[in-house]
Amino acid sequence: MTTGRAHIPGLYIHFPFCRSKCGYCDFYSVTETSLISSFLEALSMEAALYREEFTAFDTVYLGGGTPSLMAPDQVEALLEMVLDTFTILANAEITMELNPADLTREDLRVLRRAGINRVNIGVQSFHDRELQFLGRRHDRRQAMKALEWAGSAGFDNIGLDLIYNLPHQSLEDWRASLMQAIALRPAHLSCYELELKADTPLGRKLGQRGHGRGSEDLAREFFIKTSGVLEDAGYIHYEVSNFAAGMDKASQHNRKYWDHTPYLGLGPAAHSFEGASRWWNRSSLQSYLADLSRRERPVEGREDLGPQELAMEALFLGLRTRDGIDLDRYARLYGRDLMRENRRQLEEWSRLGLVEIASRRIRPTRSGMAVADALAVM
Amino acid sequence: MQNIRNFSIIAHIDHGKSTLADRLIMKTGACDLRIYKDQMLDSMDIERERGITIKSHAISLPYTASDGETYTLNLIDTPGHVDFSYEVSRSLASCEGVLLLIDAAQGVQAQTLANLYLAMEHDLEIIPVINKIDLPAADVERVLEQIDSELGLDPATHLACSAKDGTGVDEILEAIVRRIPPPRGEAEDPLAALIFDAYYDAYRGTVINCRVFDGEVKAGDTIRFMFNDSIYRVEEVGRFLLDRQKRDTLSAGEVGYIIAGVKTVSSVSIGDTITLDDRPCAQPLPGFKKVKPVVFASIYPIASDDYEDLSDALEKYKLNDAAFIYEKDSSAALGQGFRCGFLGLLHLDIVQERLEREYGLNIILSVPSVRYRFTLKDGAELYVDNPAHYPNPMSIIKSEEPYIRASMMLPDRYLGAVMTLCIDRRGVNSNMRYPSPGRVELSYEMPLSEVIFDFYDRFKSVTQGYGSFDYDLIDYRTSNLVLLDILVNGEKVDALSQIVHRDRARTRGVLACDRLKDEIPRQMYKIAIQGAIGGEIISRSTVSAFRKDVTAKCYGGDITRKRKLLEKQKEGKKRMKMVGSVSIPQSAFLAVLKSDKDS
């Protein structure tokens, strides 16, 4: 089964260092920043090991971790390494995640000149109290500065991350935060509900809060409010947690995760996808470095997806996006006619206002997106 | 015949019957225990896993006793659950003696007593055996006292053993030879053989397990089943070691099998007498009873496409379970299915599990019911075991339901709680006996429907596991009955209907709505659940709709995990039945009969 061969792959680089760990985050990172240069060396070795398989990319995403812990010249060198190893197409979207605590105005200028053309700033909140609760290193003032400097450094594609449904946060608090964000006119907003995962410090501390029915009602109110406020302000709610000032500002890189476009993930714990296979790297910096010192791919696991699994993924990922599912493309790629198999169910959902079915597409509505996972289990 | 001993091991559940049986088999060298266990495991997973014996088996153990003589010890196994008490009685009728096994730590329990009474009815030699003496909690002194005071047996006759480590097993084998009398019978008399079990063999058809009392039988004979009044030609006779060992004849006193081209197990009735067609015995052996199912439920395939598969599976299953009956049925809510009869709830559980496990079927069982009796205005008498066939209330002049006598044994500190439970379950005519200080033997007459309504779970819970329970059906009694319907989003789900006592109707309605609310998973819309009697809504509950279930982040590393989670949910959904626009899980149908969430 080939899926999206016509789509050009994306490159993800996981920079696995943080100054300190945030209580809610379950991405892989370590605080031993002394290992940064060893990591960067290993990374270029890893990239070299894939140059035959992946030749060209049209997106690069530098995430983490906290990639802004790198000195600007390290980022420059990293991008150079990428350009030396692979072909990066003209007009490629090259994104870097930034922590507002890390950068100066000058740093941002250097990054822009080095070729980064999109930044995603981890603002999370405009309230210092909330930032402290989340264990962030920055405050509101630094966040505002970072946004301002990014603009003046020449970035016209700025995204910011926010987190909602914090303990003690009211809908009104959240609306105020959103209004502040809107006032800054970022090209892109990612608004994530705080999810307490069991393997995070905050998850352990607060336990199962957020799993009862009452709190699901609240989570829904936050979700609907977010969508409403941002769409009223002209943003497109193009994925469960993502909003863009125009479809040209939607993350080109993240889209690849949702439509089975191939991607190569470099760095510890990074995931890759190609054809019908997914593989993932060791989620330990030590073993990652050890593997690469032997010039071996630091792959920890791999799965080959059968037609049913691919179809399932395409369904639940598609239902997370405003574009929804193109029925003809779905039938072509996964050999299943969703409309014929589930007509009654889909018509029922359409009647309930959860999906819109038109021009051979199933699109989730705002309410539908809130229950996308349940829809996917049709 | 002097060198044959026919015996059973009888015990309360978990008192170690299977372990002792294994031990005797190993000790006598009938076969290698490992092979034995492997084979048993293949033959019936569920028995092993649940630690109960579902169907009886028989095995002939060769044993050289201390007197130098070689004996054949026929161990006739008995099912260990109240649902199968008739089978137990037929197995015991085939014996001359029993080992009455008592757990050294738990002492005498209700089934110990019930089994003892059965053995006494058959005038058997009873050897009390105290098992598990290796346990730290073993209290042999106390058990000896119970043997004396509660069982009325001479404690001096007891043996003690640990079936687990083998202690005392030699003494048991010797006692079987010395104390259990050899069978009596006349090999020259006309054939009289008692059927105590039958099972289906894919190559040979039905294999009949029997005890020959008089006469003999051999291949080529034409035999007659006296009650079933059918005739077959014997193909093979033999006895069981680990597998079937063919022999020339089976004669008076022996236990073995007959293969006679009987196509289905249902053509054989447990308890029937086999005789020779050309030289029949004067009268059949006593004690025959046609086994009748007492609990009924409908089985539906979850996907209606699977109806044919279900039909095939039931046909095959039935080959080996004569007590199970079924016929076509259809439900307005659940479509085409089968109405089935069971000996009890355990039997129902077993059938359900085997259909799912061995035939790979996804099925729904409707709420179990007993068989009610209605007398109508036109004088007709109507038996109804399916709430969907409840007669027009205007036409009923008398309603009756089956009653049982429940026998319970418990430490007296739980007496109050158990009496409250029994009275709550409409128990009457209580009887109480203190067989020994601190212990009570309690009996009540109760509607059977109350017993299938989670009585056993509640009983275990109020006695904290120290009580034991047994029952016998007694008769039908007048009862004020009504039909309780359940509506899901306004649509009547006939498979959830119950026939209940009028005084109970409201409580049951509230309970059913409550339980269903917990069992039916949230869906895209609110689901209203209502209980109704004759159109009047008496209870309601609501399953709220999904509010937000989508995860916030779904990037490279999250996709596999998410897919696996959704695949699991999808699997779960396959086990639900669409009723109108609502998916109802299998568990909901049985949950309606549970009163407590934790039991």
DSSP 8-state symbol, B132 = -
- From A265, A316, A375, residue closest to B556, measured CB to CB: A265
Terminal CA-CA length for chain A: 23
**pLDDT the model gives residue A211:** 42
pLDDT in tens, B299-343: 999 888 899 999 999 988 887 787 899 999 988 888 899 999 998
Min distance B560 CA to chain A CA atoms (Å): 8
Q: Which CATH superfamily is domain B295-365 in?
A: Elongation Factor G (Translational Gtpase), domain 3 (3.30.70.870)
A317 sits in which H/E element: helix A307-318
Please state the separation of Cα A215 from the chain's center in Å.
25
Answer positive or negative: Cα dihedral of B259, B260, B265, B270: negative
- State the virtual CA torsion across B268, B347, B358, B303 in degrees, nearest 10: 110
| Bridge partner residues of B491 (DSSP) | B488
Q: Which residue of A has its CA nearest to B556?
A: A271
List helix spans (H) across B492-534: 502-519
Name the phi and psi angles at B247, rounded to 5: -135, 165
- Are B547 and A370 an interchain contact pair (Cβ–Cβ within 8 Å)? yes
> Greatest CA span in chain A, whole angstroms?
59
Identify whether the C-beta of residue B499 lies closer than 8 Å to the C-beta of residue B372: yes
Chain A / chain B CB contacts < 8 angstroms: 97
Partners of B523 on chain A (C-beta within 8 Å) are 374
Cβ-contact B330, B494 below 8 angstroms: no
Give the residue from chain A lying closest to B543, CA to CA. A213
CATH 3.40.50.300 intervals, chain B: 4-179
Are A213 and B554 an interchain contact pair (Cβ–Cβ within 8 Å)?
Answer: no
**Cβ atoms within 10 A of the Cβ of A254, count?**
25
The tens digit of pLDDT for each residue in B457-490 reads: 888 889 887 777 878 889 999 999 999 999 999 9
* pLDDT above 50 (res B599): no
Confidence tier at B53 by pLDDT (50, 70, 90): very low
What class is the B482-591 domain?
alpha beta
Neighbouring CB atoms inside 10 A of B521's CB total: 18
Q: Identify whether the C-beta of residue A158 lies closer than 8 Å to the C-beta of residue A186.
A: yes
For A67, A159, B208, the CA distances from A122, given in Å and listed in that order, are 11, 9, 78
How large is the C-alpha radius of gyration of chain A? 21
Distance CA B492, CA B435 (A): 51
Distance (Å, whole) CA B440 – CA B139: 19
For residue A2, the model assigns a pLDDT of 36
| Average pLDDT over chain B, rounded to an integer | 88
Residues of chain A with Cβ-Cβ distance to B551 below 8 Å are 195, 240, 373
What DSSP assignment string belongs to B406-427? EEEEEEGGGHHHHHHHHHHTT-
Domain B192-276 has CATH 2.40.30.10: yes
Q: Which amino acid is at B251?
A: S
A270 part of contact set with chain B, CB < 8 Å: yes
pLDDT band (50, 70, 90) for residue B30 = low
Chain B residues within an 8 Å CB radius of A9 = none
Closest residue of A to B544, CA-based? A213
Rounded percentage of chain B residues whose pLDDT exceeds 90: 53
Contacts of B396 (CB under 8 A, 6+ apart): B374, B375, B376, B377
* A196 or B262: which leads in pLDDT: B262
Q: Taking Cα atoms as reference points, which of B90, B97, B151, B157 lies closest to residue B124?
A: B97
Task: Please tell me the distance from the alpha carbon of residue B508 to that of residue B485, in angstroms, as a whole number.
Answer: 11
- Using a CB-CB cut-off of 8 Å, the residues of chain A touching B560 are 271, 278, 303
DSSP character at residue A233? T
Q: Check whether B15 has a pLDDT greater than 50.
A: yes
Helix axis angle, A36-49 to A285-293, nearest 10°: 50
Using CA atoms in the order A200, A205, A211, A217, what is the torsion angle rounded to 10 degrees? -110
Chain B residue with minimum CA distance to A302 = B560
3-state secondary structure (DSSP) of residue A330: helix
Contact B124, B89 (CB under 8 A): no
Nearest to B486 by CA among B500, B498, B475: B498
- Among the partner residues B547, B559, B570, nearest to A377 by beta-carbon distance: B570
Q: Which residues of chain A have a CB within 8 Å of the CB of B549?
A: 216, 370-374
CATH 1.10.10 fits A308-376, yes or no: yes
**A263: nearest CA in chain B?**
B556
Rounded alpha-carbon distances, angstroms, from residue A55 to A264, A295, A300: 11, 19, 23
Binning pLDDT at 50, 70 and 90, where does residue B56 land? very low
- Alpha-carbon gap, residue B10 to B26, rounded angstroms: 19
- Sign of torsion over alpha carbons A219, A222, A224, A230: negative
| B80 cis-preceded (ω within 30 degrees of 0) | no
Tokens, residue B147 = 């043997």
CATH 3.30.70.870 residue ranges for chain B: 295-365
In this prediction, residues B116-126 reach a mean pLDDT of 87
Token pair, residue A245, equals 């000032």
Give pLDDT tens digits for B67-79. 999 999 999 988 7
Question: With contacts defined as CB-CB under 8 Å, which chain B residues touch A354?
Answer: 524
What is the model's pLDDT at position B52?
A: 44
B245, two tokens: 């060992």
**Residues B510-553: pLDDT tens digits?**
999 999 999 998 888 899 999 999 889 999 999 988 888 888 99
Domain with CATH 2.40.30.10 in chain B: 192-276
Name B339's bridge partners. Answer: B298, B327
Q: Is the pLDDT of residue B385 over 90?
A: yes
Q: B145: which residues sit within 8 A by CB, 6+ positions away? A: B155, B436
Which residue of B548, B549, B554, B563 is the best one to mutate when testing the A interface, meaning the one whose CB has the most A CBs within 10 A?
A: B548
Q: How many CB atoms lie within 10 A of CB B541?
A: 18
Q: Tell whether the model's pLDDT for residue B42 goes beyond 60.
A: no
Residue B61: Cβ within 10 Å count: 24
Q: Which helix (H) or strand (E) is B299 found in, with range?
A: strand B295-301
Provide the β-strand partners of residue B102.
B130
Q: What is the CATH number of domain B373-479?
A: 3.30.70.240
| Residues forming CATH 1.10.10 domain(s) in chain A | 308-376
pLDDT, residue A5, reads 37
* Cross-strand pairs, A300: none
Contacts of residue A332, defined as CB under 8 A and 6 or more positions apart, other chains included, come to: none
pLDDT at B46: 52
pLDDT in tens, B200-215: 888 888 999 999 999 9
DSSP letters of A31-61? S-GGGHHHHHHHHHHHHHHTTTT--EEEEEE
Tens of pLDDT along chain A (378 residues)?
333 335 899 999 999 999 998 888 888 999 999 999 999 999 999 999 999 999 899 999 999 899 999 999 999 999 999 999 999 999 999 999 999 999 899 999 999 999 999 999 999 999 999 999 999 999 999 999 999 999 999 999 999 999 999 988 999 999 999 999 999 999 999 999 998 877 888 888 776 554 444 578 889 999 999 999 999 999 999 999 999 999 999 999 999 999 999 999 999 999 999 989 999 999 999 999 999 999 999 999 999 999 999 999 999 999 999 999 999 999 999 999 999 999 988 998 999 999 999 999 999 999 999 999 999 987
Extract the tokens encoding A51.
């140059």
CB atoms within 10 A of CB A91: 9
Binding-face residues of A in 347-366 toward B, CB within 8 A: 348-349, 352, 354
Query: Residue B36 pLDDT more than 90?
Result: no
CATH number of the domain at B4-179, please? Answer: 3.40.50.300
Residue in the block written with tokens 């505002």: A144
CATH architecture of the region A10-258: Alpha-Beta Barrel (3.20)
Alpha-carbon torsion angle A53, A54, A55, A59, nearest 10: 180
Q: Is the pLDDT of residue B44 over 80?
A: no
